[in-house]
Structure 1
């Protein structure tokens, strides 16, 4: 017999189970472009005194030298996580010579995407591989798509939480097998309800015209008086086809019903040859253009709004880590950078994400067919492009519902989960955060995307100037406060050690790069 949401909430509310509920752990990965005060991308390389982008635990780069990525360690306290992120950003501000961190997901004005420098990771084989992978992304999709910034939210429950759920279910299997299965159940529910995330938090309904670089696209953009392109009801153009997409991936149908099926699907995708990408060439005139001509060069190229994760050992592929040791946590990837928060994500968002993901873990989760997956993706696409359109209708299990109707139904259950979390954490934060998000469902003008449209279209604000003002404000505010969790010395020591670690990796290489790649893909 299937355990219902009410059953779980009742059992978990027992005093002896509340400590298991309060064991949530989180980590945040925040991407941010370095820009100069005129709003252009910085042309300076990654600063030496920020540490090695290859090995620093907290400060690295993503696609480009100018696209920083800040990574917080795993923590059980949400306020500590955001304090750590502020410390990392403060340290960065102190070492980038007056440059700013762009507070939006969509990039600032870029006149030529060929001028966007690829991230460099040193002379080691693994460092070269990371850069060649990015060269492949550039040749496949163009650089502009790759400098879109986002927030990745890493989330896990405690082992005692899963043991309690297993006891409630009367399940007697190996615990890790059970945990992996339940994380995939969470993922399926997340994919079913993923449209909620861009609706509540999408902050990219407007783009600079330079982003398109005169490339063909089918979206019915309007132009503001100040020349910005927008869709009236859009929530997150970052999550649309303008963002990081791979049309060849649409036919992959990665299965999220269980760990084995998922890993098998990912491995098949990595070995599936693409005629389009093969035509680019791999190594031409002695220079690598990409790692291979497959649909995916490596697993990281698989686009997904959520991923099952396991910390991998050195040299271990993500799917191998999952296969060997099971799911450890999940990574939510559908979050725009919040321009109204100095860290790109607010404490209120974190608390509601706790509620949302706990709901996804406890609500019934049916197996997902290819047809269902397409239905979920269609709902997501609709909300991304016209989530605030009062005429929008979504497909909830073949029932046609307005976003307000479906959202209000869901929040009735979210509120119950919030009450459980508040009881476990001895707070009122979760019910307060949930109430604030419910008001956005009832009134779309409260969403960040609506606020941005109001500024750019109705108030005729120059969006780039507003972004620069926010970036300057956040820089000044963060430099004016003391370090809260890390210290300047700790972060300096981490930078020094990262250079030592990179050097050790480079000195340990025994194979030439061609042999290293051949060996990597042979496995």
Structure 2
């Protein structure tokens, strides 16, 4: 069924124009989150290290929700090996700095030893209005959803096709190329298919089948089982991070938010509506406390676009302090961000080359596949399939929903992977076959769930009678030692040191400029969608 929707004439036409060279010029970027921890695995209580520069202004090293939650960002680069080299170099640089204060990075998505919400320091970004806004957004997230789930880490895959692909693609499908409008139309079609088939990602790459009991504090979750006295898990789970215990808009039914992916315009309008529409739960929370301090950016359904959790986002590079919806409306889609990847505890970087090659193949498949708009019933199926796979995907009897009927996960999975074979061949250069090899590795995982990262994690925990904490701590320390043995190239080290110094200078310059009233700053941001950095 799936393969029939990939037109053979389209594949032949793209093959004739040498599209593999164009596809290999596509841009890939990685954003990888990791928690800074003390030697015992507890969450660091120290400030973001000055030696790593300004979290507000550094191009490649910042923080996410918590002051202890590092986010390492590669620039968009041609070639997957180059992207991974840059990410490895960032790790080498960061580990060298953390070693000075006896800290290292936690190697799994699910967090380390937590001691309640009061021990999760929210990220600080200085005294400028942009810095205060970034901090306040995170304060609001804590009040709305709680702090604990905000410190779950992930890997984001950013991807854009090389621009010369689009006219060739238009010709191959018999449409006229209309520039950005054509790109936006077909990128949104790709985004819809990434959602349709997105349950594949936690099955193949999920690496969070277990979690430390400290994650829940005194609460005993009724929907998980005990692995040992320190660990909760589910026997066939792939990604608890992507399940109902992970970072979701858990109150979305109450506040009524669901983005519309029919077109870029409808997507923008649905998010803009949510940012501008008051929500009763957040009105009850209040905008300020009794001392007049802000509790959240606003009392609307969403504070800003980023609050809406989705597995995939169409994105545009931001100019100055620009709202993402404004950037998309003015300049269209620049790239697509996949957000459903766990940190792979079996990889020092949290991700590897084979995985990235499969993801590129998956994105191309989703572009070439027929992509009707998502109906309300299909939207429900998409959400349910993601949850079922996250909690129970390795069960041999696991079934998903497809067009109102049940289908075995493995049957659908093999159908999709078989249909991707000619797509991988399209991306392969003549003498290598790396994309096909990456695809075949995932076929093996679909045929044998024991090969998936989630199964391997539980198997290793059982073999060594380890709790989740012991497993994750051992992996984290292993990578700490491995990076100690590696040396960062002198030119790259100098580049990172320069950016670190420049980022601190940029923040200082920003904070020395007279700031307008913060209330007025926020009002201008939400009314115009674009404000200056001062």
- TM surpasses 0.5: yes
CA-CA distance at 1:486 after TM superposition: 5.9
Measured at CA, do residues 476 and 283 of structure 1 come closer, stay the same or move farther in structure 2, by a change above 3 Å? same
Partner of 2:145: 141
- Distance in 1 between residues matched to 2:6 and 2:108, nearest whole Å: 40
Partner of 2:396: 390
- Distance in 2 between residues matched to 1:390 and 1:383, nearest whole Å: 12
Partner of 1:463: 468
1:351-387 Cα distance to aligned partner (Å, 9 max, x none): 1101111100111111112221111111111101100
Partner of 1:492: 497
| Equivalences for residues 505-520 of structure 1 within 5 A | 505-520=510-525
Aligned residue-pair number:
520
1:29–1:72 Cα contact (<8 Å) kept: yes
1:151–1:335 Cα contact (<8 Å) kept: yes
Partner of 2:111: 107
2:166–2:177 Cα contact (<8 Å) kept: no
1:31–1:69 Cα contact (<8 Å) kept: yes
Q: Secondary structure of the residue that 1:371 maps to in structure 2? A: helix
Determine whether 1:243 maps to 2:246.
yes
1:136-186 Cα distance to aligned partner (Å, 9 max, x none): 111111111100000000001011111111111232252110001111000
| Equivalences for residues 144-159 of structure 1 within 5 A | 144-159=148-163
The counterpart of 2:81, out of the listed 79, 93, 104, is: 79
Partner of 1:331: 337
1:28–1:81 Cα contact (<8 Å) kept: yes
TM-score, structure 1 as length reference: 0.96
Partner of 2:532: none
Partner of 2:485: 480
1:455-507 Cα distance to aligned partner (Å, 9 max, x none): 33464223322222221221222232233596111101000100111122223
CA-CA distance at 1:248 after TM superposition: 3.5
CA-CA distance at 1:438 after TM superposition: 0.5
TM-score, structure 2 as length reference: 0.94
Q: Secondary structure of the residue that 1:482 maps to in structure 2? A: coil
Partner of 1:183: 187
Tell me the C-alpha RMSD between the 2 structures. Answer: 1.7
- Distance in 1 between residues matched to 2:214 and 2:491, nearest whole Å: 39
Measured at CA, do residues 455 and 141 of structure 1 come closer, stay the same or move farther in structure 2, by a change above 3 Å? same
- Distance in 1 between residues matched to 2:19 and 2:388, nearest whole Å: 40
- Distance in 2 between residues matched to 1:15 and 1:299, nearest whole Å: 39
1:84–1:484 Cα contact (<8 Å) kept: no
| Equivalences for residues 23-34 of structure 1 within 5 A | 23-34=25-36
CA-CA distance at 1:245 after TM superposition: 1.7
The counterpart of 2:210, out of the listed 206, 213, 219, is: 206
The counterpart of 1:269, out of the listed 271, 274, 296, is: 274
Q: Secondary structure of the residue that 2:76 maps to in structure 1? A: coil
Determine whether 1:49 maps to 2:51.
yes
Q: Secondary structure of the residue that 1:423 maps to in structure 2? A: coil
Question: Structure 1: 5+ residue runs without aligned partners?
Answer: none
Measured at CA, do residues 485 and 396 of structure 1 come closer, stay the same or move farther in structure 2, by a change above 3 Å? farther
- Distance in 2 between residues matched to 1:322 and 1:507, nearest whole Å: 31
Measured at CA, do residues 399 and 458 of structure 1 come closer, stay the same or move farther in structure 2, by a change above 3 Å? farther
Partner of 2:372: 366
Measured at CA, do residues 329 and 484 of structure 1 come closer, stay the same or move farther in structure 2, by a change above 3 Å? farther
Question: Structure 2: 5+ residue runs without aligned partners?
Answer: 529-534
Q: Secondary structure of the residue that 1:33 maps to in structure 2? A: strand
Determine whether 1:299 maps to 2:305.
yes
| Equivalences for residues 401-480 of structure 1 within 5 A | 401-423=407-429, 426-457=431-462, 459-480=464-485
1:31–1:67 Cα contact (<8 Å) kept: yes
Measured at CA, do residues 4 and 444 of structure 1 come closer, stay the same or move farther in structure 2, by a change above 3 Å? closer
Measured at CA, do residues 338 and 270 of structure 1 come closer, stay the same or move farther in structure 2, by a change above 3 Å? same
Q: Secondary structure of the residue that 1:155 maps to in structure 2? A: strand
The counterpart of 1:230, out of the listed 228, 233, 242, is: 233
- Distance in 1 between residues matched to 2:189 and 2:84, nearest whole Å: 28
- Distance in 1 between residues matched to 2:353 and 2:491, nearest whole Å: 19
Partner of 1:88: 90
> Greater shift after overlay, 176-185 or 222-231?
222-231
2:25–2:79 Cα contact (<8 Å) kept: no
Partner of 2:61: 59
1:202-252 Cα distance to aligned partner (Å, 9 max, x none): 111101111112347441x22123431011111101011211122333432
Measured at CA, do residues 518 and 215 of structure 1 come closer, stay the same or move farther in structure 2, by a change above 3 Å? farther
1:281-310 Cα distance to aligned partner (Å, 9 max, x none): 112212111111112111110100000000
